[in-house]
Amino acid sequence: MRLDQLVEEVGDQIEVEWKTFLLRPEAPKTTNREKFVEYTKSWLNPGEQEPETTFNVWASDEDQPSSSVPAQVAHKAVAAMAPERADDYHHRLLTAYFTENRNISDADTLLDLAADIGIDRDALEAVARENQQSFTKMVIDEHNAAIQSNVTAVPTVVFENSFAVPGAQPVETYQRLVERIAEKKAELASEL
C-alpha cells in the first residue's frame, strides 16, 4: 500500500497509526447479492491506482459482510494481544476482503485470518470475548471522532493530528507533505 511505501521511503520521519472508520457501521439495507456485486465494481478504479494491492469484484460464494464492526473489533483485540502484529492483521483483513472476497464480519473467518499471521485462535477468541464491550466502544469512539473531524473519505491521511488529506494520493504527494512539515518544524525550531 502507498503508506507502507511512504514509511519505507521516509523512515522514522513518520509513524502510521491506523484509526477506525466504519465503512459499514450497520447491516446493509439490502442483502441483495447482485447489488453488492455491482457495488464491488467500484473498487476497480482505485484498485488500478494501488500498485501493491489487488481489488477484485466479489466473486466468492461467501456471504457479503454484514458490518465492518466485527473486523474492527477483531483488529483491536489483535492490537491488545500482540501489538507488533496489528499492522499485519490490518493488511490481512484488507486482502481477505478486497482480494479474496471473504466475509470479514464472520467470527470464524476473523479468527482464521489471525491464525494466518501467527496469532493463536483460541487466545484471540478469549481476548475478544472478554473485552468485547471495551473494544466495541473504542471502535465507535474512533469512528465518531473521525466524523466530528469531517473525515468522509477512505482513506484519509491525517498529518500532525490536524492536516487531513482525503482520498488515496500518490506516494509523491505524501512525501512532499512530510518534507514540508519537516521544513516548517525546522523553521519554528530555529525561531525559538
What number is the average pLDDT over the span 42-69?
A: 81
Please report which helix (H) or strand (E) contains residue 164, including its range.
strand 163-166
pLDDT band at 47 (very low <50, low <70, confident <90, very high): low
Asked whether the beta carbons of 80 and 132 are under 8 A apart, the reply is: no
- pLDDT-based confidence at residue 42 (cuts at 50, 70, 90): confident
Instruction: Check residue 64 and report its DSSP letter.
Output: P
Residues in the chain: 192
Domain boundaries, the chain: 1-17+151-192, 22-146
pLDDT at 52: 72
Cell of 104: 470479514
Tens-digit pLDDT profile for residues 135-177: 999 999 999 998 888 888 788 888 887 788 887 788 888 889 8
Q: What is the CATH number of domain 22-146?
A: 1.10.472.60
Does residue 59 register a pLDDT over 70?
Answer: yes
